[in-house]
Structure 1
Amino acid sequence: MAQPAAGAAARPDADAAGGLEQLGTDSRRDSTGFTVSLTNFDGPFDLLLGLIAKREMDVTAVALAAVTDEFIGYVRGLSHHQALDESSNFILIAATLLDLKAAQLLPGGEVESQEDVAALEARDLLFARLLQYRAFKHIAGHIAEQIQAHSDRLPRQPGTHPELAQLLPELVFKTTPEDLKTIAERAFARPAMEPDHIRFEHLHSHTVDIRAEMAVMTALLREAGAASFTELIRESESRLVVVVRFLGLLELYRDRDVEFEQDAPLGELRVLWSGPASGEIAALDRAAAEWAEPESGQSPRPAPETEDADHG
């Protein structure tokens, strides 16, 4: 296994030690009275943290399995709320100890192979998850006890009380069968809505003149010679104008007034002017006639289906 530089190994070791020292300070401020009895240490758990933080005791010599067993026995004698608080703090401290221990066992604290993972698991690497599991199991038991203790407070559906039923007012139905007949006749006698009663003005806020939009693009292309489609729609105030200008380009392409270039699929579309440099453009008048809005009561005029033989 490759060995990292000494500086890389010292950084996770120092970070874990700094975090552990902060945890030790917080634990001493809120001392709990938890003591441990190991082969190489016997005393308060807060003192053990202080010795490890000051590097007066090697963290690799601390058997976290034994510490965990003693802590579980300790919290069993506490109340529910105290046990939850103590367990939360101990899980954080144990995770920090494992971080510091891994940093010392493997330089850099990095796992580079499956053998490293097996070695760390053999050195109590999974005890933090075990503590979390036991904490959640303890919390689940506490919740179950609370549900059982308050099970008699569930709402009860009351039955029918005859003395209360007599207080209800008698229901008086004043609508006669003749009234229902009159209402039904009035509903079915409504005149059918005529087609001319339906208004379509609200479907479009405004119309766009395709001839005017084609004239704008024609002037721009005649002056510049070529432009991208993005440049042609840059001043469009709505999506409808963009659609109309695209249709106008197709009408110009139909008369070979413009040519299209595209370097790649879905790439930027470039439009080149190939029509006359001045004068009228026949495509403008034809598009204006084909795309004209139909008069009221007339069907829309379909676009001609003829195609240019050279473009087909």
Structure 2
Amino acid sequence: MSFEIKLSLFEGPFDLLLFFIERDELDIHDIPIFKITNDFMAYISQLEQLNIEVASEFILTAATLMRIKAKMLLPRTEKDAQGNEIDPRQELVQHLLEYKKYKNVLADLTLLEERRQMMESRGNIQAELQHIAKQSNLDYELQDLNLYKLMRVFEKVIVRFEEEQNRPKHTVYTYPYTIEDQKHFILERVNKDKIVDFTEIIEAYPEKIGLIFNFLAILEMLQLNTISIIINEGFNNFRIVPYNDNQAA
């Protein structure tokens, strides 16, 4: 059996990111992308362990964070038309600032909504309902219900059902890889063999997604000075060695 739980604490991925930023008192204009990505992925992993369905927008945001993280690990930087370096976090920061601005006025809008709901408009309710039904092309007069009106409703339901069936559907696949697991695998191989060719890593995980995870794990380990690499002749392969051994050489 499957079930779905709606978490009221975080309405969306930006709400979760803002929680991490406020909890750790981080500068929203200079987000430590490594830390916030790890916190975000850990939260999603906890949901998956509880068999809670993870919404597609959380998975999309996680992929965006991984993409930004990879860009910051790469030595090459993108530049704008004026030659200024483009921060990979810039677009994410702008979206977070916009989300935070609207979230701050949410309490005021909720209060206005509650006050408006307590008001009752004067006038002929029956005439107003008929006017609304006419504008919406709906048959509201249930007291005059007949077979023709039932057929009209049935026709509209069939049309709506066909539109739903023809709507594009997106399937999200969960792969059995994590950055931390691949870092652990690579470090064990390096500590055991001292020198590991990147082609050996490819042979161990020949899938495209496995190659991507291993490559990102190597980039992060280089950033953390856990390993070093030696470029072979040509550029089709490189060797991975322990960081201390490479320094001694």
Instruction: Judge same fold: TM > 0.5, yes or no.
Output: no
Name the larger-Rg structure: 1
Give the TM-score of the pair, scaled to structure 2. Answer: 0.31
